Structure 1
Amino acid sequence: MAGGRRWEAMELDCLVNIFQRLGIEDLTLGVPFVCKSWYRASLDPICWKVLDFQALDFMPWSNFSKRFMRRYSPQHFSFSGFMKFAINRSHGGVVELRFPLLIGASLKDLVHASNLCPRLKIAVLPRIMLEDEEHIPELVGKWKDLERLEMESKPSSFSEIATQINLNCKSFTGLRMFGSIKKEDVLAITKSLPKIKYLCLSRSYLCKKELLAIVDGCRELEKLIVNDCIGFEADEEVLKRASAITTFEHEGSKLYDDLGYDTDECDIHHVRVI
């Protein structure tokens, strides 16, 4: 409108305040190509503190990949390259990093993120190759400010991960993973993460004995989510022992699965792909 204020004339800090609420796709393919002032604002590291790659399709034939190729003309497009592009724009200020679920990520991607995102508070890790799981504890231990860790499956190195969190991540309060939760896993949680406030083990094999050990050993739990688990039913004893937990979700959990198993012999039936 004649005489009205123009968007491109808005103060830079105001634009940054708005753009930091946008997703990566808008920051990459939309905002920078509107005008020069929007482009400058989109480069502010504050806009890149939260990197959620889960909503994007990194397949070469996807609309996002094709649009990125047209806009930036790289020699080739890959998740690894795009992740480095986004982390570089953050100037090391990433506080939340969510890896994509479908294509996963390589060990090199995790190492790169661990080295260049020292201020990370929330990490959502993808599935990685079994032979690479032994490296996760060292990588997680570098995130001194880590508050919450989510993993798409329980890695074989979980006990070592919990130890590293206990030693290095003094603000840690939340964990999500699923798989076959065994005695050694429960011991790792209660011994290394006794002050945890949020724990989600939904879609896991979790027997009543181990569930109660978690309830008794993690006295500061405020939210425990064990929906759709196999190995226990929320009977009177379970509900009574968990009554001090503010939020205790157990919908869909049952003692046996559809094949009649009630032990972790059937791990393959309980570790499900999201």
Structure 2
Amino acid sequence: MQSGGRKWEDLEMECLSNIFSRLALDDLTMAVPFVCRSWFAAASNPNAWRVLNFRLLDFMPWSGFAKRFAAQYLVSRFSFSGFLKLAVRHSHGVATELMLPRHLTSMEDLVFASKGCPRLKTLALPNLALDDEACIPNLIVKWKALEKLEMESKPFIFPLWQLRLGKTARTSMNCGSYLPKEELLFVLEGCRELDSLTAKNCVGFEADDAVKRKAFELKIFEHEGSELANDRWHEIDECDDLHHVYVI
């Protein structure tokens, strides 16, 4: 700021915390709190933790971030679960966006997040172990305000997810994987409040007239790159019950 103007540390707490909510989690934990007392207080405000995007950082124990965090906070052994709990607790239940890393997230982490972040509107799920998939629908329905659900790939037990979620997916669902036409139609029929669906680069369906009729009322239906088969796949029968993941 110009000389004689208002100083950053003199800004109102709500204004500072709103600015800090746009920062990445490494800045919010290792930079901002150590500038001055007012910034420390603003960084401790739950509003600064409304967006919990864990996909911007490398949480492997040998990563630069993990080493810096452990040194700065005198932690003997860094873990993603510990960092997740720190961030969720700082949010005090006001977080509206949660993007989990594609790996490292355990079922215990998801349960903790479901209890600590009840107001989520956006949820990006990690890659899940088969044993954990059956538990996810019961967690997702706890987020009553959920509007956007992103999945790295279609769950192996997708029919169970469809039946359990029903009206939960209100705004959008992202899925890139093996997605047979009958399962896509089931989503379009079963998720009655869905208004956008991204199913790009999927294998198992083409956007034919039957699919387009079911998707007609959606505000957004993205299906570019989806096809019945590609160079890595044999021709897929619509009744084939094999579940493969198509990497996007």
Both structures adopt the same fold (TM-score exceeding 0.5): yes
**What is the identity, as a one-letter code, of the residue corresponding to 2:41?**
R
Aligned match of 1:51: 52
Residues 253-272 of structure 1, C-alpha deviation per residue, up to 9 Å, x if partnerless? Answer: xxx4225732167965x611
The residue aligned with 1:230 is 227
Aligned twin of 2:107: 107
Identify if the C-alpha distance between structure 1 residues 90 and 98 changes in structure 2 by more than 3 Å, giving closer, same or farther. same
- Give the whole-Å Cα distance in 1 for the aligned partners of 2:186 and 2:24: 35
Aligned to 2:234, which of 252, 258, 261? 261
Q: What CA distance in whole angstroms lies between the structure 2 residues aligned with 1:87 and 1:75?
A: 21
| Residue matched to 2:180 | 182
Would the alpha carbon gap of residues 259 and 91 (structure 1) be closer, same or farther in structure 2, given more than 3 Å must change? Answer: closer
* Runs of 5+ consecutive residues of structure 2 not aligned to the other structure: none
Q: 1:3 Cα deviation (Å)?
A: 4.1
On the 8 A contact 1:165/1:172 being kept in 2, the answer is no
Give the distance between the partners of 1:261 and 1:226, measured in 2 at CA: 20
| Bigger mean CA deviation after superposition, 34-43 or 210-219 | 210-219
Amino acid at match of 2:154: K
Determine if contact 1:180/1:267 at 8 Å carries over to the other structure: yes
Measure, in 2, the Cα distance between the counterparts of 1:59 and 1:183: 38
C-alpha distance in structure 1 between counterparts of 2:158 and 2:243, whole Å: 16
CA contact under 8 A between 1:194 and 1:220: conserved in structure 2?
no
- Indicate if the aligned counterparts of 2:180 and 2:204 stay in contact, CA closer than 8 A: yes
Give 2:156's aligned residue: 156
- Corresponding letter in the other structure for 1:271: Y
2-structure distance, mates of 1:228, 1:178:
10
Residue of structure 2 in register with 1:23 after alignment: 24
Query: Which amino acid counterpart does residue 193 of structure 1 have in structure 2?
Result: C
How big is the shift at 1:57?
0.3
> What is the CA–CA distance in structure 2 between the aligned matches of 1:140 and 1:260, rounded to whole Å?
32
Q: Indicate the residue corresponding to 1:248 in structure 2.
A: none
Say whether the 8 Å CA contact 2:203–2:230 is kept in structure 1. Answer: no
Q: Distance in 1 between matches of 2:13 and 2:164?
A: 41
> Is 2:72 the partner of 1:71?
yes
Deviations 1:169-213 (A, max 9, x none): 3x71100012211245224312321342211111211323x7544
**Unaligned residue ranges in structure 1 (runs of 5+):** 232-255
What value does the CA root-mean-square deviation take over the aligned residues?
2.2
Count of residues in correspondence between the two structures: 244
CA distance in 1, matches of 2:189, 2:4: 66
Q: Which residue of 2 aligns with 1:42?
A: 43
- Mapped to 1, the partners of 2:86 and 2:226 lie a distance apart of 39
Tell me which moved more, 90-99 or 199-208: 199-208
Alignment deviations for residues 195-253 of structure 1 (CA, whole Å, 9 cap, x no partner): 42211111211323x7544322233212122222231xxxxxxxxxxxxxxxxxxxxxx
How far has the Cα of 1:117 moved from its partner? Answer: 1.2
Q: Distance in 1 between matches of 2:164 and 2:96?
A: 19
- Per-residue CA shift, 1:67-92, capped at 9, x if unaligned? 11112112321111111100000001
Structure 1 residues 195 and 212, CA gap change in structure 2 (3 angstroms): farther
Does the CA-based 8 Å contact 2:215-2:221 persist in structure 1? no
1:217 aligns with 2:214: yes
Partner residue in 1 for 2:13: 12
TM-score (norm 1): 0.81
- Equivalence for 1:245: none
Distance 1:223 1:186 in 2: 15
Q: Between the two proteins, what is the percent identity of the paired residues?
A: 40
Which piece of structure 1 moves more, 183-192 or 12-21?
183-192
| Aligned residue in 1 for 2:246 | 271
